[in-house]
Amino acid sequence: MAEHPIKKKGLGRGLSHLFGEAEAAYRVSAPEAPAAQQAAAGGGSTLPVAFLRPGRFQPRRHFDEAALEELAGSIRHHGLLQPILVRPVAGQADAYEIIAGERRWRAAQRASLHDVPVVIQTLTDSQALEIALVENLQRQDLSALEEAEGYKRLMDEFGHSHAELGELVGKSRSHVANMLRLLALPDSVRTLVQSGELSAGHARALLTAPDPEALAKAVTARNLSVRDTERMANAAKDTRKPSSKAAPTPASGKPVAKHADLLALERDMTERLGLKVTIEGHGSSGTLGIVYKSLDQLDEILAKLSRK
């Protein structure tokens, strides 16, 4: 697998500048020189793979095994063409934390490389976090949830707006906003998205469903497309529209008064959610309806339902 160059949009003299200088320095460094002699900050050097360790700020939680093997095969034939950005571990000799390039480091070990090209920089925790997140977000193989969580960390840690995030990683403001909405999904649905059983398109369609978990189970069981999922979500909303009419009894078909317990439960849930709630009971089964008048209210409902 060919390694993808890091995009330079929005980074100025940031990450792309670090790698640009380092690649030039690495090309002219003497391979036989000891690593300690090549480790000037900001310069290109090589270090034993054993000196490197995974970074604390890595947003990626899953490394695809097949993709790692493919990258390892490429490294065996062509070497590791792009250096790994690292910082020294304070108080420890021959120990470096990976800031950007953990996937390349893992593949290099599989390719049985002893030394790898590196860029050694002295970075604060804040700098390391932002670089690690931006570098990974600019690549195309993060999962939808890893991408969303990366955006949230950049917002929480650095106060970036949606527009600033989009400029930073070369995405549109609407793309950033849509990805962040995925974090409102219930945990069970997020697990399906993380595993790849549901796509980001499926997840966005599920956000509008009255019961995302139930619909997610149906989508995965029937292998439905995103368009089918959108239709089912819309249909579920239509069937759950509240009605002021009394529910008919199965036997006579005549309207009957709603049970006092259901009315009390409706009032209680309406007060708790701050939105109109209706419950229609039919014996041991029934339907629950929540009325919202804007997407902001829908997002609020989903956040409350997914909150532990």
Instruction: Provide CB contacts within 8 A for 175, sequence distance 6+.
Output: 166
Q: Which structural domain, as residue segments, surrounds residue 246? A: 242-290
Give, rounded to a whole angstrom, the gap between the first and last alpha carbons of the chain.
40
If one counts every other C-beta atom within 10 angstroms of the C-beta of residue 167, the result is 16
User: Residue 33 and residue 48: Cα distance in Å, rounded?
Assistant: 13
State the total domains in the chain. Answer: 3
Average confidence (pLDDT) over 298-308: 69
What is the reported pLDDT for 28? Answer: 30
Count Cα neighbours of 52 within 13 Å in the Cβ-side half-sphere. Answer: 30
Is pLDDT larger for residue 255 or for residue 47?
47
Percentage, residues of the chain above pLDDT 90: 14
The one catalytic residue in 23, 69, 102, 164 is: 102
Please indicate, yes or no, if residue 176 is contained in any of the structural domains: no
Please determine, for residue 47, whether its predicted confidence score (pLDDT) is greater than 90.
yes
Round the average pLDDT of the chain to a whole number and report it.
Answer: 75
Torsion of CA 262, 264, 266, 272, to 10 degrees: -140
Which of 91, 124, 157 terminates a domain? The answer is: 124
What is the reported pLDDT for 195? Answer: 82
Shared domain check, 104 and 119:
yes
Shared domain check, 273 and 217:
no
Take residue 30 and report the two structure tokens written for it: 């003497």
User: Which domain CATH number covers 34?
Assistant: 3.90.1530.30
Please indicate, yes or no, if residue 151 is contained in any of the structural domains: no
- Could you confirm whether 102 is annotated as catalytic? yes
DSSP 34-51: -HHHH--TTSEEEEEGGG
Shared domain check, 274 and 231:
no
Q: Looking up tokens 């995405």, which residue turns up? A: 171
Please determine, for residue 200, whether its predicted confidence score (pLDDT) is greater than 70.
yes
What is the reported pLDDT for 235? Answer: 81
User: Residue 262 and residue 265: Cα distance in Å, rounded?
Assistant: 5
Which of 107, 124, 141 terminates a domain? The answer is: 124
**Global confidence as pTM:** 0.52
